[in-house]
Structure 1
Amino acid sequence: MGQRRGYHRQWGPREPGPPRPREWEVLLLLRQGLEDEEIARRLGITASTVRGHIYRLRDRLGANTRAELLRRIPWEQCPPGLQPPEAGDQGHL
């Protein structure tokens, strides 16, 4: 029998809360259409770690695909320091 959704064999039930800071960083780059390897390079982590973040987020939010994951993310909860500048704001740092 497989592992239950939302349950980690070592730490128990997973809480469905908002993404953690590193997960937000991965999500923002994923939202830009970047591949795992490019996200990993930009964040200084491995592509395997990127895939792990995405897998855990999909599991917590009950998303079957990456596209569905991006639709389910509560973007309004993204910490302001992590949000990319709006189009046109890039020159006004």
Structure 2
Amino acid sequence: MSQRRGFHRKLGPREPGPPRPREWEVLLLLRQGLEDEAIAERLGITPSTVRGHIYRLRERLGIASRAELLQRIPWEQCPSELQILKAGDRDHPKPGR
């Protein structure tokens, strides 16, 4: 069964807006310069899931590259519970869900 472009089977239409909680986690680690494999290990997900989060967020926001994504994200909207990741603490245990 194929999905319509821009539509999530559980969450409905993908409209521009701030990142979802897991997307924030991925973005904050990407911002620290971590590769997909390191992000995946840190979050307990697969590298392809990391790439999927980044791809869907870029597509939803109409952004062409990861570098542009990191520049255009509204960092001030980052949830306060992710402040440790925001600070760049690479040794902190993986965030809970």
Q: TM-score, length-normalised on structure 1?
A: 0.78
- For residues 86 and 32 of structure 1, the distance between their equivalents in structure 2, rounded to whole angstroms, comes to 6
For 1:1-80, what aligned pairs fall within 5 Å after superposition? 7-8=6-7, 13-80=13-80
Higher-RCO chain (CA-CA 8 Å, sequence separation at least 6): 2
Larger Rg: 1
**Percent of residue pairs identical:** 76
Unaligned residue ranges in structure 1 (runs of 5+): 88-93
- For residues 80 and 54 of structure 1, the distance between their equivalents in structure 2, rounded to whole angstroms, comes to 21
Unaligned residue ranges in structure 2 (runs of 5+): 90-97
Q: TM-score, length-normalised on structure 2?
A: 0.75
CA deviation after TM superposition for structure 1 residue 44, in Å: 0.2
RMSD: 2.2
- For residues 26 and 76 of structure 2, the distance between their equivalents in structure 1, rounded to whole angstroms, comes to 16
